[in-house]
Amino acid sequence: MVKITLPDNSVREYESGVTGLEIAQSISPRLAKEVLSISVNEQTWDLTRPITEDASIKLYKWEDEEGKHAFWHSSAHLMAEALEALYPGMKFGIGPSIENGFYYDVDPGEDVVLRDADIPKIEAKMKELARQKNAYVRTDVTKAEALSYFNDKGDEYKLELINELEDGTITFYKQGEFTDLCRGPHLPSTEPIKAVKVLSIAGAYWRGDETRKQLTRVYAITFPKQKMLDEYLVRLEEAQKRDHRKIGKELELFAFSQRVGQGLPLWLPKGAKLRERLENFLKKVQLQYGYQQVITPHIGNKELYVTSGHYAKYGKDSFQPINTPAEGEEFLLKPMNCPHHCEIFKVKPVSYKDLPIRMAEFGTVYRYEQSGELHGLTRVRGFTQDDAHIFCTPDQLKDEFKKVIDIILYIFKALDFNDFITQVSLRDKENREKYIGSEENWEKAESAIIEACQERGMETIVEYGEAAFYGPKLDFMVRDAIGRKWQLGTIQVDYNLPERFELEYMGSDGEKHRPVMIHRAPFGSMERFVAVLIEHTAGKFPLWLTPEQVVVLPISEKFNDYAKKVSNVLNNSDIRTVLDDRNEKIGRKIRDNELKRIPFLLIVGEKEAETNSVSVRKQGDGDQGSMEIEQFISFINKEVEEQLSAIDNK
């Protein structure tokens, strides 16, 4: 017999070899129909895998990320089976589940090109195979057996993957006529897969390497019910309407130029205004919390990043060193701001009385992301972090960490990001090689984060293996207006960089001590945050933030002079106003400016010119009636004040 501990800490006994599916059946037949995967001693397994020793388990359904992962990973194998049936001789790279669905990288062969026109028949074949209710069967194989199988099949991509694995760790999964190299976990069978949608067909270099062959990447998603797929497609259509690349172009916020370089955004005047207001908003908050602004160069001597450890960790993903006329001298575009801030700390002697020192910078950093990974503002090669580093004593660490939490929560409330979860990212439980620093310092840092969250009453999830290489962190995962999840703010505790840079302060005991360092970025990066904000609001920014609050529309050229007067009065009253004096009909002007998401449209003609007034239209609310100019100034200022007051009172 084996003892099985359930999530409520109750213990049940079963015969050795019991499966997760049998355990679910013993609890409830309905649960057995809904469960998709199981964790056994914190490792996710197939429901049909025998349990032969005492274990703690969790059963995962569709609502759980682990359940979706098994469902979509199994669906990736189903799609691969369909593709192999339709296109014999196709070779396969990798087919992981992703946040929404899955993809498979495939090599169709020299004479086959997958196109959008092929999507219906791929979907039809997947549904046909799913209805066969074929079991996913896991088999342990030796490395020699695995190599032999895929060598006979002629699939060099799988052979490359197998050669990197250790003997004794290799498993195959088979369903129907398809066999794949895979760790799992998978569903018991294809039966739960009821609704299928192939989303797109794109190109992707093998293993993300531009020097390797370009494969075909097929994206898809599946659901246990057709209704779920229908609802997802509605959300997907809404997401396409909110795409920050589309809205950013319409609102003239940012652009990209091949001559400037891929992944290097150009902020247009309106986008620069938006970004400036966000920066000023955070600067004001930081000032209240005792931060000091600093500015550091865009480059640094290579040795700076060797010392920090960033060169070893980011060297492959960074731009190549810049050689100067001096022999052997090399500089790098900075991948991070923190090494520069460490050097600022060392400029003068520091006493415990000076701590904490809080340095803030909107610092631009550079990473050479692969071209296939670039995506609008969310994945770029040059981005500005709202970076700050707090240097404090170990005794101050927890309080400083809690203050940073307060700043991030304040910003989220200000911008209506009210749906979020917090994730404590800790080291991998087994693989410690990818982290720097002592075990003792890591334990201190991890404990400080957990205790700070508890004292702030925050519910958190814990993810092992997600920490930064130099320290654990707290990540904020925000859900936008249509339910998509984005990682935005982050706070990290670091005992290691102070050690590497030999940072010191004089303690009250007259001895020298190492400070602790907190890295924090409430926005994360200005580029990514603006992208998420655009998609969250669909480009309809809060009145206090929007680059253009008002547009003045003369009904004909006769009233252009009066319209200019109104525009000047409003701009001189710190109301961001533009003038649309094109020789167009007023109806066309109204439609065009509503598409620009400008909150207030002021229409002026003969009546308004005679009475020193404006006719007011509000975005989404229509006609607001006629107001004198001073009355409108008071009206709009009151709305801005109410918005900002509401933020402070939340």
- Cβ atoms 523, 489 nearer than 8 A: yes
Known active-site residue 624: no
- What is the chain's Cα-based Rg? 29
Evaluated on CA atoms 379, 380, 384, 385, the torsion sign reads: positive
Amino acid letter at 398? K
Q: Is 338 annotated as a binding residue?
A: yes
- Cβ atoms 54, 46 nearer than 8 A: no
- Identified catalytic residue from 367, 444, 484, 576: 367
- What residues contact residue 106 under an 8 Å CB cut-off, 6+ apart? 80, 83, 90, 91, 92, 93, 114, 215, 216, 217, 218
Known active-site residue 385: yes
Known active-site residue 389: yes
Known active-site residue 293: no
Give the distance, in angstroms, between the CA of residue 324 and the centroid of all CA atoms in the same chain.
36
Q: What is the 3-state secondary structure (H, E, C) of 473-534?
A: EEEEEEECCCCCEEEEEEEEEECHHHHHCCCCEECCCCCEECCEEEEEECCCCHHHHHHHHH
- Identified catalytic residue from 158, 310, 313, 519: 519
- Identified catalytic residue from 186, 313, 338, 358: 338
- Identified catalytic residue from 175, 385, 492, 549: 385
How do 577-579 and 550-554 pair as beta strands? parallel
Could you tell me how many residues make up the chain? 650
Known active-site residue 519: yes
- Identified catalytic residue from 155, 387, 480, 494: 387
Known active-site residue 473: yes
Cα(628)–Cα(569) distance, rounded to whole angstroms?
Answer: 12
Residue 45: its H or E element = strand 43-45
Q: Mapping DSSP to helix (H, G, I), strand (E, B) and coil, where does residue 129 land?
A: helix
Q: Is 182 annotated as a binding residue?
A: no
Cα(598)–Cα(549) distance, rounded to whole angstroms?
Answer: 6
89: region left, alpha or beta (phi > 0 left; psi from -120 to 50 alpha)? left
Cα(65)–Cα(494) distance, rounded to whole angstroms?
Answer: 30
- Identified catalytic residue from 77, 473, 597, 617: 473
Cα(324)–Cα(322) distance, rounded to whole angstroms?
Answer: 6
DSSP 351: B
> Residue 458 — φ and ψ, nearest 5°?
-95, 135
- Identified catalytic residue from 389, 520, 596, 617: 389
Among residues 480, 491, 475, 459, the alpha carbon closest in space to that of 416 is found at 480
Q: Is 340 annotated as a binding residue?
A: no
Binding-site residue ranges for Zn(2+): 338, 389, 519
Q: Which residues are catalytic, by number? A: 338, 367, 385, 387, 389, 473, 519
Binding-site residue ranges: 338, 389, 519
